[in-house]
Structure 1
Amino acid sequence: MNQDNPNTFSAALNATPRRIVPQPALILAIVAILASAGAWLYQQNAMESLKLELSRELASNNQLQQALRQSSLESSQTQQKIISRLDIQENKQAEAGARQEALNHMYDNLSRGETLHSLAEVEQMLSFASQQLQIAGDINSALTALNNIDVQLAQLNRPELINVRQALTKDINTLKGTPYLDVIGITAKLNSIIDSIDSLPLIVDAGHNNAPTRYQANTQHNSAQRFGAEIWHELKQLIQIRRIDQPDLVLLSPEQGFFLRENIKLRLLNARAALLLRNESAFRSDLKATERYLQQFFDARAPATDNAIKVLRQLQMQPLAITMPDLSASLTAVRAARTTAERAKP
């Protein structure tokens, strides 16, 4: 067997080479191999490119992560600073809130004290106005007082005073609908008549104070006639003849005249008291008695006496039976508000 191999190898070397015709399968195999090699090379290049790109992305991501870490660190530091500032602001806000609460407490105390003082003053003013309204019947003064009180309460602007202002408004409307009795005007007229009583002339004194007429001589008479006429004129001035329908008045002495005048004054003073008490029957009775005295004992022809009689007749027509409101609603509301303010916690 070893001997045959050298011969065969020699024969092969000595043999004439034959022309090899490429086969399609071989070509396809070579093409496949080349394609595989190309694909492998492409894949290798692609893998290298991908690795390079990945390395770049990783490097970029690392840088980005470092930047994010740095930014996160800075954000954390900033957040810590903000938290610290917020803590400071909260402390300041808490301190400001405590101060505001203290100020509110002080304001409430001051406002409460001012409200109590104003309510006490309003209660006193209402009591005085109610008393004057019942005594003098002066509705205008009472209305002025209530309006001033309402303005004062409006300036306080306290919610607990709403009921008080509503009661004041109700009493104001009631006063506006009440008929007006001019007590002060009637009293002034009575005082004027009282002051004039001493100067009114009595019937027995009528003509005593008349000014004497002046004698005028007649130029046609001679001196003796003029002298006689002048003497006769003077005698007529000394003697006056009057007619008195009531002979008893002639016997009225000066002392009786004084007591008559004082009696009339007492009648007028009683009428003034009856006016304040709203006693209409006593008021008219005293005025009628005064009018009767003036017509009976005084000279009605004198202007002062005639004027006094006319005033007395006008006053007798004045109605006094007017029911005055007592302002009880406002007083009750003020006292209730004052009690509530005193019981409120400071």
Structure 2
Amino acid sequence: MTDNNQEHQDKVVTGSADASPATSQEQQAAPASGKEKTSSSARGLAIVAIILALVLTAGLYWHGHNQAVAQAGQLERLQAELAQQQNALQAATAAQDARLTSLTSNQASTAEQLDGLSRKVLDLDSKRPNDWMLAEAEYLVRMAGRKLWLEQDVVAAAMMLANADERLAALNDPTLIPIRQALAEDIAGIKSVQRVDREGLVIKLNNINDQVDRLKLAGVIMARAEEPDFTLSESIGDWRDNLKKSWASFTDDFVTVRRRDGNVEALLSPQQHWYLSENLKGKLLQAQLAVYREQQEVYDSALAQAEQWLQDYFADDSVRQFMLEQIAQLEGQRIDVDYPEQFTAQDRLQQLLDDRLQRLLTGL
């Protein structure tokens, strides 16, 4: 029994001894296979990394190449535009230089012409030193026309024409005799113009206007009563009329009856009196304004209306009588004047100056 147990134990030990080498071999084989798997995955990752690096490098290269190409094209365009602008600038500079050269030459020639003209003008001035007096005479004639037609100053216009004739006389030029004759005709025409004492007329109208406030309104004016006729007829056939007249003559000492036919004007109120006075003053002021404007119709109408109002509405006293007398004197005045339309000497003087200027320019 004991021997059997011993053998069984030996078999077990022997089996255990045989099993242990096998187990150790399996344990050695397992790490070897793990290492192989790790090395293969590392190779795969390396390959993938290399491929990604190559793709990324190729993409970066392609992108950089495209940018370089675009920049090169843009640079070429900029260089072309710069060259075009430089060409245009050079052309403009050349044109400006040519223009400046032309202007310089023109200025030089103009300066030479001005110098020549100045010398010729000086020569002409030395030959005809009195031509300025002719221009002064023409200016005086023009100013005389302005004085006459704009200001209606006949005296000043005549004096200016006389001064112009003195300038022409001082020239001692026989060719100016026709112009001096025309000037004499113009002076005679001005002196023949009727002179109107406008200031005197206005002063008289102003004095009449000052008397308006002193006027008194007229009272009620009754119509004149008819006086009875008591003359007896010598005819016997008129005995009835003679009897009536005798009876009327007898009763006239007791009762008197008078018949008055006609319109009786009502008295004006104080307000109407004030309006009437102001309207009368307005008519007189209108007449004064018409004197300065030479409006004959307005002047006559204003005086006639003022005279009518004085006769109709104001009392017959010394003030009204004075105003009516003054208005009657003013009504016969002529305030409009027929002035000559133009001076005959003015056109001749202007023509003479134009001819001499034309000859001067032609000689230059």
* TM-score, length of structure 1 as denominator length: 0.47
Higher RCO, 1 vs 2 (CA within 8 Å, ≥6 residues apart): 1
Q: TM-score, length-normalised on structure 2?
A: 0.45
